[in-house]
Structure 1
Amino acid sequence: MPRLMLTDEFWPKLEKILLQEAIYNKRNLRMTVEGVLYRMRVGCPWRDLPEVFGCWNSIYKRFNAWSSTNKWSRVFKALIIDPDWEWEFIDGSYVKAHQHSAGAAGKKPQAIGKSRAGNSTKIHLAVDGCGLPVEFEITGGDVNDCSVAPELIAK
């Protein structure tokens, strides 16, 4: 069985937040969330999720549904409790996008930009004095940290 990320102490707190965001308490909710977290931590394809988490396609569909309705963002915001504002640190990380990632149909911006390495996305993250994330912004890979820093600090 893969190593789980959520402790028995933390799960009831997260479950309460998920239920407040209208994420229904289906019978495998914890394993679905564990599967999503495992996939994000390891970076494996959805199809390669260990079977202990359940059907990879169900987890993928729930992740997409929750993402498209901004439920993950609201859960993230709800988890930020009493940040330490004595210090605030900002950093960015590049994520290489697949060569066929740009150009999907739709009106939403895709946050994919051209850089030296090709198509890429950049995650700008602000953390508090304890190193816990408090805000993030996703932009194209061609956007530098200095142009996003004022927005992150203002948020």
Structure 2
Amino acid sequence: MPRQMLTDERWEKLKMTMLKMGIYDKPFLRQTTEGIFYRLRVGCPWRDLPSAFGNWNAVYKRFNEWSRKEKLMGIFNELIVEPDLEWQFIDGSIVKAHQHSSGAAHGQESAIGKSVAGNTTKIHMAVDACGLPIHFTLTGGEVHDCKEAPILVAELPKADYIVADKGYDSEPLRVQIKEKGAVPVIPRKKNSTVGNDDMDWCLYKYRHLVENVFARLKHFRAIATRYDKLKRNFEASVALACAFLWLPM
């Protein structure tokens, strides 16, 4: 039997959340879910899924259906309970898109772009003060952090401080953060005429919390390298990986 990821305690918590999302407790639900996690962890093609998880096509169809109906994203959002919103940290990370991830059907959004690394996707992530993911968006890898930041920040709950690196150095973004009632902790670039006299460098040192989340997510090989053709399927994979980080909480 291939190694599984869900203990009995975590499976019960996940199953209750799945029931809230309208996923029925059918026979082999745990087996199917473990198959999805197995593919997420090892990054194998769906056709190479071990038979211990059932028919590979049945597992894929279940994942694709949950993705299409945004149920996996709903599971992630449902598991976010009492996040510590005193501080919020935002950042972006590029993942390489495998050559098999290109060629999505016409009219289907892929969120794959060209950058110096070739075909890539960028994950724009926000985490709370405990270093747990609370929201993310996906774009092509060529999209600058500062360009996607207003969309990301607009979806975040109210916080006391929002911390980011100098890639987010933008006065309109600072204004947006202040309008949300938060204090922006974003260093200015070297050519800035304003300077960094107002920077809270002690708080800025905790920005590694968002980097740690990217490191943990990329333990899943299907996240570290993107194999999904459609944006919604890769988004569902990232949401499921983020949900897994919340299960012990």
Structure 2 length-normalised TM: 0.57
Deviation at 1:102, TM superposition (A): 4.1
Structure number with the bigger relative contact order (C-alpha 8 A, sep ≥ 6) is 2
Partner of 1:111: 111
Deviation at 1:86, TM superposition (A): 1.9
CA deviation string 1:85-130 (max 9, x = no partner): 1222223222222446445334342211111122211111111111
| Partner Cα distance (1:50, 1:151) in 2 | 40
Q: Percent identity?
A: 62
Partner of 2:215: none
Structure 1 length-normalised TM: 0.88
Gap change, CA 1:79 and 1:106, over 3 Å in 2: farther
Gap change, CA 1:89 and 1:2, over 3 Å in 2: farther
DSSP 3-state at the match of 1:104? coil
Deviation at 1:140, TM superposition (A): 0.6
Partner of 2:40: 40
Gap change, CA 1:34 and 1:94, over 3 Å in 2: same
Deviation at 1:52, TM superposition (A): 2.1
| Partner Cα distance (1:100, 1:47) in 2 | 14
Gap change, CA 1:89 and 1:64, over 3 Å in 2: same
| Partner Cα distance (1:10, 1:99) in 2 | 35
Partner of 1:97: 97
Which structure: larger Rg?
A: 2
The more displaced of 136-145 and 89-98 is 89-98
Q: Which runs of no fewer than 5 residues in structure 2 stay unpaired?
A: 156-249
Partner of 2:138: 138
